[in-house]
Amino acid sequence: MDWLKRDRIIHRQWNIAVNFFMPARALHHERFARLCHAVIQSYLFVVIVGNILALSYFALRVSPVWLEFVLLLGGAYSPVIGALFLRLTAKISASVVITNILGIAFVTAYALLTNCLSSPAIPILFGFLVMGAGFERRVVTAILTALVILSLSLLYTANEFGLRPAYQIPLTNLALLQFLGLIASVTLMAIGLFLGTLSRQAQRQRLTGALTQAQVANKAKTQFLANMSHELRTPLNAIIGFSELLKNQMFGPIGNPRYLEYSDDIQHAGHRLLNVIDDVLDISAIESQDFGAIDEEIDASELVAACVSMLAGRFKSSEITLTTMLAPNLPRLRGAQTRLKQIIVNLLENALKFSPAGGEVRIHAYSGENGGVTFEISDLGMGMVEADIPRLLEPFTQVHEADSRPHDGVGLGLYIANRLVELHDGRLDIVSAPGTGTKVYVHFPEERLVPAPV
């Protein structure tokens, strides 16, 4: 396990070196950060390979010239200048161009001082070209290629006309240096790719594990809410039933009329709590997709009529007019009848809740432009600003909380309606403005229609 520990230490130190050169902009742009990470790694690889080549040359050369050694190290460390430029300017293209120009200049000078085209620096010259071509655009690659060709032409000319020092590196040493440089480059690149692959695999496993845990926790939460809601329904129904017995004085007069008021309050509060429990059960059923079949044939006109009939008494007691407008020959829908009814009832209740006394709520059903069916529910309530509309489709969220607090509900009606619409392949849109009321459009696509008999 010692090798694994050492490998982790080396990998950590390598990441520290790479992160040191990362520009500040990379913290906020993931794609840019990945590009910078790849470029900086290539810079550091060139530095390592260049150092190995320089040290190998210094060790094997019979009479090393310090100027040659300095130039070779200069070429090896030119990527550090490019990395610093990248950190300060956050410009990848300019950084790669500067790095390659410096590297090519150093390598060309070194090659002229050694054996021109036989110089062990030639592999590094092509290495700079590969580094630029691997991470930059075609224009930059063309410029770098032209510089390399120009350098090789100069070296060839110097070689042909004897413009080189009298001393030469022995051929065996030259071959060994080139072999060491290429092997070191390939080995380091392979190690870097291997470590990067291990890092990505570990990160992917961590993300997969975290996602699995989140899904398990969410499923457990949903199941817990469903179980608790079922457990609460039985005693709550008993409370509502007994409060109704007291309110109606089924077993004789109670005596004090205040008890009648209290029993009415108990019954009203019980119904409110029962509605919340039903909403929680609906959410758990939606999240687990346990809501029954959604392929029943439903008459759109009858669906609206049933919803209006259910709420007619509440609209009348609230002194709010409910107007129905149905287009002729509405097509039949495919879906879960109870869920479609729940969508319209939730939207009508929401419109009723925020409509002033003497106001009007309209429900309009008609064929959509794309061949589907649209249900439009509008009210003349307080409305809202456009920025608040997305919040309405989140669970347990209400707009104008101070104003809506006296109303029933905990902010689940629109969320449930929207989720049920999505499960029927539809779309729910809200249009509103302060003081002008709200319009909710429920669109069902043509795929949800029952074909008319031929």
Residue 202 burial class via C-beta count within 10 angstroms: exposed 0-12, middle 13-18, buried 19 and up: exposed
Q: Which H or E run includes 187?
A: helix 171-248
Q: In whole angstroms, give the CA distance from residue 153 to residue 397.
A: 72
> Taking a C-beta distance cutoff of 8 angstroms, is the pair 344, 307 a contact?
yes
Instruction: Please answer whether residues 359 and 353 qualify as being in contact, where contact means their C-beta atoms are separated by less than 8 angstroms.
Output: no
Please state, in angstroms and rounded to a whole number, the distance separating the CA atoms of residues 189 and 134: 13
Neighbouring C-beta atoms of residue 55, cutoff 10 Å:
15
CA torsion sign for 40, 46, 49, 53 is negative
Q: Strand, coil or helix: what is 429?
A: strand
- pLDDT, tens digit only, all 454 positions of the chain: 455 555 566 667 777 878 888 888 887 777 778 778 877 877 777 777 767 766 666 666 556 666 666 766 776 777 888 888 888 888 877 777 777 777 777 767 776 666 665 565 666 666 666 555 555 556 666 676 677 677 767 766 766 676 655 545 554 555 555 555 555 555 555 565 566 667 677 778 888 888 888 878 777 777 777 677 667 777 887 888 888 888 888 887 877 778 788 888 888 888 778 777 777 777 777 776 666 657 789 999 999 999 999 999 889 988 999 999 999 888 899 998 888 999 999 999 989 988 888 899 999 999 876 778 999 999 988 888 888 888 888 877 766 554 444 555 667 888 889 988 998 889 999 999 888 899 999 999 988 888 876 5
DSSP-based three-state secondary structure for 453: coil
449: DSSP letter: B
- In 3D, which of 152, 156, 177, 183 has the Cα closest to residue 64? 177
Q: Tell which residue, 332, 390, 305, 321, has the closest CA to residue 360.
A: 321
Q: What is the CATH number of domain 296-448?
A: 3.30.565.10
Pairing of the two strands 373-379 and 437-444: antiparallel
Structure tokens at 267: 């019954």
Cβ neighbours for 172, distance < 8 A, ≥ 6 positions apart:
none
What's the CA gap between 135 and 1, in Å, rounded? 36
Per-residue 3-state assignment (H helix, E strand, C coil) for 381-406 = CCCCCHHHHHHHCCCCCCCCHHHHCC
pTM reported for the whole predicted model: 0.52
| Residue 113: per-residue pLDDT | 67
Q: Which two tokens stand for residue 119?
A: 């110089």
Q: Where are the domains of the chain?
A: 2-169, 226-287, 296-448
76, 204, 360, 378, 384 from 436: Cα distances, Å: 71, 50, 12, 10, 9
